Chains A and B, each alone.
Chain A
Amino acid sequence: KQEVTQIPAALSVPEGENLVLNCSFTDSAIYNLQWFRQDPGKGLTSLLLIQSSQREQTSGRLNASLDKSSGRSTLYIAASQPGDSATYLCAVRSGTDKLIFGTGTRLQVFP
């Protein structure tokens, strides 16, 4: 059974810092891994999707990497801003098309 874990559970940093959020999964047989952002009271917004054959994806100040063999992904946020404050979730899609979510990292960036 696929299990997804995210560390840390919460993070509070000053504006301008570079951040790394971690995601680990137990079954390396995945189709893809997706990072989401969730603002309070809102749905999830897709940030980056990494296919199983890819090593990383970049979008603006965000970079996500994938190491399937070790069951890990990281989300790197460069030059963090208060607007980045949200909960970040990773999710893996396995053979049954199910997307299994981690419990999320709650990020607060203060000015």
Chain B
Amino acid sequence: DAGVIQSPRHEVTEMGQEVTLRCKPISGHNSLFWYRQTMMRGLELLIYFNNNVPIDDSGMPEDRFSAKMPNASFSTLKIQPSEPRDSAVYFCASSSVGENNSPLHFGNGTRLTVT
């Protein structure tokens, strides 16, 4: 398996622009998580999905952030409009959640820089 795949690896954009981050989870995993990592705040959970349904989005910082999972093999995290304080590394992770909780597998992340 290729693991969790995220794109793009790097994104540099100007303040006010729309940013879309993409994630392909590991095939067969039924849970998908979006995390944000910064030096100041560490790893923060933004939102997670079970079976394509958003379960908890309490970590989404503002209405400027939205996430979708239209099918089991794809998810997007969108920021509109972007601001400099959104600069961070955004990670997608997937796992199988059930009686035998499996380890969480992370993608390599998208490094976002908003100028």
Interfacial residues, chain A to chain B (CB-CB below 8 A): 31-32, 34, 36, 42-46, 49, 51, 89, 91, 93, 96-104
The size bracket of the interface on B is 20 to 34
**A49 proximity list for chain B (CB < 8 A):** 101-103
B33 touches A101 (CB 8 A): no
The tally of CB-CB contacts under 8 A between chains A and B is: 49
A98's contact among B45, B102, B103, B106, by CB below 8 Å, is which?
B45
Alpha-carbon distance A17/B56, docked complex (angstroms): 42
Contact B106 A32 (CB under 8 A): no
Contact of B104 among A96, A99, A103 (CB under 8 A): A99
Are A34 and B104 CB-contacts (below 8 A) given A43-B91, A97-B55, A97-B97? yes
Across the interface, do B103 and A44 meet the contact criterion of CB distance under 8 Å?
Answer: no
Known: A43-B91, A43-B107, A51-B101. A99 touches B33 (CB 8 A): yes
Q: Is the interface of B mostly helix, strand, loop or mixed?
A: strand
Q: Chain B contacts of A99 at CB under 8 A?
A: 33, 45, 93, 104
Instruction: Give the contacts of B41-62 with A (CB-CB under 8 A).
Output: 42-43, 45, 48, 50, 55-56
Contact of B105 among A32, A46, A100 (CB under 8 A): A46
Neighbouring B residues of A51 by C-beta, 8 Å: 101
